[in-house]
Amino acid sequence: MKINANRDELLGPLLKVGSVVERRQTLPILANVLISAAPGRLQFTATDLEVELTTSANADMDGEMEFTLPARKLIDICKALPEGAAVTLEVEGDKATLRSGRGRFTMGMLPAQDYPAIEPAAASEQLNLPESVLKRLIDKTAFAMAHQDVRYYLNGLLLEITANRVRAVATDGHRLALCDAELDTGVGGDIQVILPRKAVLELGRLLSDDDGALQLEISNSHARVRFGDTIFTTKLIDGRFPDYERVMPSGDTQELLADRDGLRQSLTRTSILSNEKYRGIRFRLAPGLLHLQAHNPEQDEAEEELEIDYQGNEITIGFNVGYLLDVLNVLDTDQVSMSLVDSNSSTLMTLAGSTECRYVVMPMRL
C-alpha cells in the first residue's frame, strides 16, 4: 500500500499524539503510534494506557489499512524534512518505507491488532462548552496539583459540574486553586470527577483559546473530550476529593490590595536570597506598607518595601514564595487582593473585585 502526503500535514498531528507516548514503556508497542489509513485521511492514535489521543491528517492512498510505527522515529524524520516536502509511505509486510526527495527511511512495524485501546463505558453525562472555557479553567488551577503524592486523589484536578457552573479545583495540601465558569451546562445533577495529572497537562497543551464548542463525555471511569478532529480519552482517578470549602478563609479578614506586577517583581527579587529548600519569605504588614524579608543559612539577607492599600492591623506572616509567585503568574489583572486573618491562618488571594478565581496559600513558620 502506498500513501502520499505533505510533510506539514503529517507533522502537526504527529506532534500532538507524540507527547502521549511514554519514553519508558513496559510494553514495546506503546512506543508506537497506531496509523489507520482510509481514502483521503490518516488517523493517528497514541496511548499510555491512562490517556489516549486520536487525531487525523489529509493524505492520498489506494486502500484501507492499519499499522503501527515507532512514534519518536517517525516524528524526528518528519521534523528533519524540509517544509512542504512531499512524503510517500509504502507499507509492505512488516516494514514501512518513507520516501521524500532523495531520502529513504525504512522502519519496522508491530501488528496493529496488538495495539491497546481504551474503551470507556457509555457516557452517563454529556455536555458542550467553549474550548476556551475549559482551557482557562485548567490554566488557572493546574499548577496547584500534587505530584506523586501518596494521597493519589490530589495528583489530579477536580472538575465539578452543576446545571449552571463548571468549576476546577486543585490542591497539593499546602495551597489550593479554584476557578469558576458560569454557563448553562444542561446537566441534570451535580457531577464530580478527578482528572489525572497527565491528562490535565495534555489538555492544557492541546486546547486553544478558540470559542468553538467541545464535547465532554463522562462515564463512571473515563472522560472523553472531542474538539476539532481530535478525540482525547482519559481514565478518571477513583477517589474522594477533600472538602475544599473548609479551607477557605472566612470570618474577620483584613484585605490588602497591591499592584500585581510590582508585588511579583518584589517577591522575585527578595526570593533570590531565600532558603533554597524551604523558600520562606516574611511578610510584615503595616498600614499602607508591606515589608518583605528573606534570609538563608549562608547568612544572606534580602529586604524590600512596597506601597500597598492596607488599613488593617500589623501582621507578620511567613509564606513559601514559590506558591505566591505561582498565583501571581496566572492572575491577569493589574491589582491583586490578599485577605488575611492573622499570622497563623491561610491567606486568600483573588483578582481585585472578583471571586471567580480563588487561591488559598497556607502560612509557614520562619
Could you give the CA distance from residue 151 to residue 226 in angstroms, rounded to a whole number?
30
Mark whether 90 and 185 lie in a shared domain: no
In the chain, pLDDT over 90 holds for what percent of residues?
Answer: 90
* CA 310 from centroid of its chain's CA atoms: 34
Same domain, 181 and 238: yes
User: Is the per-residue pLDDT at 24 higher than 90?
Assistant: no
Does the pLDDT of residue 69 top 90, yes or no? Answer: yes
Q: Is a pLDDT exceeding 90 seen at residue 144?
A: yes
Residue 255: the pLDDT is 94
- pLDDT higher than 90, residue 331: yes
pLDDT (mean) for 224-246 = 95
State whether 110 and 150 are in the same domain. Answer: no
Last residue in a domain, options 114, 136, 158: 114
Kindly indicate the confidence band of residue 217, based on its pLDDT and cuts at 50, 70 and 90. very high
Q: Tell me what pLDDT residue 353 has.
A: 84
Neighbouring residues of 178: CB distance < 8 A, sequence distance ≥ 6: 141, 167, 168, 169, 244, 357, 358, 359, 360
Residues 108 and 130 in one domain: no
Give domain status of residue 57, yes or no: yes
Question: Is there a domain that residue 220 lies in?
Answer: yes
Which domain-ending residue is among 244, 274, 303? Answer: 244
SS3 271: helix
Q: Around 330, how many Cα atoms within 13 Å sit in the side-chain half-sphere?
A: 23
Domain assignment of residue 366, yes or no: no
240 and 253 part of one domain: no
Mean pLDDT of 264-290: 96
Domain presence at residue 58: yes
Q: Is the domain of 150 the same as that of 55?
A: no
Do 106 and 18 belong together in one domain? yes
My answer on whether 84 and 190 are in the same domain is no
| pLDDT at residue 213, as a whole number | 92
Mean pLDDT for the stretch of residues 336-347: 94
**What pLDDT is recorded for position 250?**
80
Comparing CA positions, the residue from 88, 90, 93 lying closest to residue 78 is 88
Q: Assess whether 129 and 238 both reside in one domain.
A: yes
Is 120 part of any domain?
Answer: no
Question: In which band, very low, low, confident or very high, does the pLDDT at 319 lie, cut at 50, 70 and 90?
Answer: very high
CATH number, domain of 30, equals 3.10.150.10
Q: Could you tell me the residue range of the domain that residue 80 belongs to?
A: 2-114
User: Are 232 and 255 within one domain?
Assistant: no
Res. 17: pLDDT tops 90: yes
pLDDT at residue 37 is higher than 90? yes
CB within 8 A of 141, min separation 6: which ones? Answer: 157, 168, 169, 170, 177, 178, 179, 357
List the grid coordinates of 185: 451546562
235 pLDDT exceeds 90? yes
**Mean pLDDT across the chain, nearest whole number?**
95
Domain count across the chain: 3
Domain boundary among 216, 244, 272: 244
Amino acid at 48: D
Residue 42 forms part of a structural domain: yes
Per-residue pLDDT at 187 exceeds 90 = no
Cβ-contact 67, 50 below 8 angstroms: no
Instruction: Express as a percent the part of the chain with pLDDT over 70.
Output: 100
Please give the DSSP secondary-structure letter assigned to residue 121: P
Same domain, 217 and 153: yes
Comparing C-alpha atoms, which of 309, 291, 319, 311 is closest to residue 353?
A: 309
Query: Are 205 and 183 part of one and the same domain?
Result: yes
Within a domain: residue 119?
no
Residue 270 in any domain: the answer is yes
Residue 234 has pLDDT above 90, yes or no: yes
